Structure 1
Amino acid sequence: MLNAEQRRRAYLSAMQVVAWLPRVALPFAAPSRPETLQPVEVEVELAPVAAPLEPVAAPEPVAPAAPAVAAVAAERPSAELARAALVSPPAKPALVADSPEAEAAPAPVERQAPPRFALQLLRAGACLLLVELPTGEPFQSRDPAYLLLKDLLRAAGLPSSPQLVGEPVRWPLMKRGSLDQGPQAALEYVQGFVAAQLEQEPSVCLWLVGLPAVRFAGEADAEAFNRELQVDGLGLAWALPGLELLMDEPERKAELWRAMRRTMRRWNTVNE
């Protein structure tokens, strides 16, 4: 078994330390040899002094050399720039917001998601009705929504058995494809469809029953319920809440009845 001093010397030998002096007395260490504490004298050999050299006249500078070196230095960056211009195309300058080029740059147009609705066009006497289909399917004779519509027509003094006009309008027209079927396209399609029917047979008042009918034919929203609208190309229209909404919220029927009493004079005059 190596003692502490032998282990210490083994570590120093591994680190290639020939001589060392501890800062404090080490326990169990052997006493230092006196010769190791003596300062080491270093002999410095002085180089012999050489004889002074005679001064030599400096050669006169050659004038054309400097311009030649400067010309080479000047041509090097220009050649590097020319080589870089051939390799990479010039970068386009950024457009400033107030510049004419920035104003002329077309902005990306976000395509809106197509709305989803189903509308049925009907005719009852002198009125044309654009009605939202609550289930998306054509009316059946015993549907609660259809029975409510018959009650509204009867209360308005119109025939309670309206005639179907064409097939239901379902939007979007296509499930896939690149055709724009956003809200604006839906509005133009519905208005064009109703206008074509009005050209064949005019009506005194156009009923818009349900929010999709009010929005995509009358260009209005739910705030227009129970009000009359003047729509370009379609004439006079009357906005009504949807049949399903009237069944879910029966308190709306009172306000609808008051609005009907103000509006029904338009078609009752024609019937007389």
Structure 2
Amino acid sequence: MINPMSLMHDQEVRRQAMLQAMQLEVWLPRQQLVNAAASREYLLQWQPEDCVVVEPSAAAQSRAKVTATAAPSHNPVTRPRGEVYVSVHEKLAALQAAQPAKAAVKPMVAAVADPTPATPAVEATELAPAEPIPRFALQLLRADNCLVLVDLPTGEPFQSRDPDYQLLKDMLRAAGLTDKPSFMRQGTPITWPLLLTGNLMHEQNATAARACVRDLLSVELQSAPTACIWLLGKQAVRFANAIDEAPLYSLQDFSGATQVWSLPGLEQVLEQPLLKRDIWRSMCAVRSLWQVENDG
């Protein structure tokens, strides 16, 4: 059974890491005060179990370092009234400092508890490879009442004369949408991973990547209604859908009245022109999603 507190802690660690990668300062509550808005219990008692050191002296030093850190008094605007806050950057620095002590103590404890050599089953468990970090770049555009999320195999944004971009314009024109889509996020691609170094780098698994992509799409939906989100390419289909493997040419619910439409990547279509026939057949079946609103 999944521990809800552990799940919320993992989500909070990933959220803090993403915000740090975007150079955003984050503050967490340290204690609850009278008449203050209620804070989440696991944030008030922020002490991850995986960062507790075996040696009492090291653990006391780590807790003292985190507890003694106070929010700077010269920035009252960014802190909600009624709570005492501590910087997430300072917390993570203290927790990361405790990691080497844990690594040094663990072999010593294992040697005292069990002096016999490790069994092959234990060795196989310890050497199990970690989940690979997804790596992708996605271009986000808006064409009338549709969003378009496209794989960028080279990681470079679209250029006006790129063959794949010309193909996308032809597809939009065939769908009855504008062939001059707007580049969202000032043309900056959505890239993953966010963190390239640090202890939290390996926490950027497929679940975190999907949450990031879907959150960014949700932000765009809040700014302007969207009938359909086109997903072109393997990475766009995988990380914008709620399920890991959505069938091509299928429609999946995203949120509210918005649906996502899964399609092959533009480069794949250029290499296999017969795919245009399948795309056209699927387009004829689903184009009513955006045509009704355009006509209205």
- TM bucket by the smaller chain? 0.5 to 0.7
- Number of the residue aligned with 1:169: 190
Structure 1 position 255 matched with structure 2 position 278: yes
State the shift of 1:235 in Å: 3.3
Q: Which whole-Å deviations, capped at 9, do the CAs of 1:179-221 have from their partners, x for residues lacking one?
A: 2111111111111111111111120111111111110011346
2:169 is paired with a residue of what secondary structure?
A: helix
State the alpha-carbon separation in 2 of the partners of residues 90 and 156 from structure 1.
Answer: 70
- Conserved in 1, the CA contact under 8 Å of 2:192 and 2:209? yes
State the shift of 1:129 in Å: 0.9
Written as runs of structure 1 = structure 2, the 5 A alignment for 1:102-113 is: 111-113=130-132
- Conserved in 2, the CA contact under 8 Å of 1:214 and 1:220? no
Q: Which whole-Å deviations, capped at 9, do the CAs of 1:126-155 have from their partners, x for residues lacking one?
A: 101111113211100000010000000000
Query: Which structure: larger Rg?
Result: 1
2:179 to 138, 160, 182: 160
What's the % identity of the aligned pairs?
A: 44
Q: Which whole-Å deviations, capped at 9, do the CAs of 1:103-139 have from their partners, x for residues lacking one?
A: xxxx989641211110011100010111111321110
Query: Structure 1: which 4+ aligned runs deviate by more than 6 Å?
Result: 107-110
Distance 1:241 1:268, change over 3 A: same
State the alpha-carbon separation in 2 of the partners of residues 177 and 221 from structure 1.
Answer: 27
State the alpha-carbon separation in 2 of the partners of residues 132 and 174 from structure 1.
Answer: 20
Tell me which amino acid in the other structure corresponds to 2:254: V
State the alpha-carbon separation in 1 of the partners of residues 291 and 243 from structure 2.
Answer: 26
TM-score of the aligned structures, taking structure 1 as reference length: 0.58
- Number of the residue aligned with 1:133: 152
Written as runs of structure 1 = structure 2, the 5 A alignment for 1:82-161 is: 111-161=130-180
- Number of the residue aligned with 1:32: none
- Conserved in 2, the CA contact under 8 Å of 1:198 and 1:234? no
Written as runs of structure 1 = structure 2, the 5 A alignment for 1:22-61 is: none
TM-score of the aligned structures, taking structure 2 as reference length: 0.53
Distance 1:233 1:189, change over 3 A: farther
Q: Which has the higher helix share?
A: 2
Distance 1:186 1:224, change over 3 A: same
State the alpha-carbon separation in 2 of the partners of residues 234 and 242 from structure 1.
Answer: 25
State the shift of 1:171 in Å: 1.0
State the shift of 1:156 in Å: 0.3
Tell me which amino acid in the other structure corresponds to 1:133: L
1:261 is paired with a residue of what secondary structure?
A: helix
Distance 1:193 1:234, change over 3 A: farther
Q: How many residues in Structure 1 have an aligned counterpart in Structure 2? A: 171
Tell me which amino acid in the other structure corresponds to 1:134: P
- Number of the residue aligned with 1:214: 237
2:149 is paired with a residue of what secondary structure?
A: strand
1:239 is paired with a residue of what secondary structure?
A: strand
- Conserved in 2, the CA contact under 8 Å of 1:122 and 1:130? yes
Q: Which whole-Å deviations, capped at 9, do the CAs of 1:54-113 have from their partners, x for residues lacking one?
A: xxxxxxxxxxxxxxxxxxxxxxxxxxxxxxxxxxx9968xxxxxxxxxxxxxx9896412
Distance 1:222 1:91, change over 3 A: closer
- Number of the residue aligned with 1:238: 261
Distance 1:116 1:91, change over 3 A: closer
Distance 1:192 1:235, change over 3 A: same
Tell me which amino acid in the other structure corresponds to 2:237: V
1:151 is paired with a residue of what secondary structure?
A: helix
State the shift of 1:233 in Å: 7.1
- Number of the residue aligned with 2:294: 271
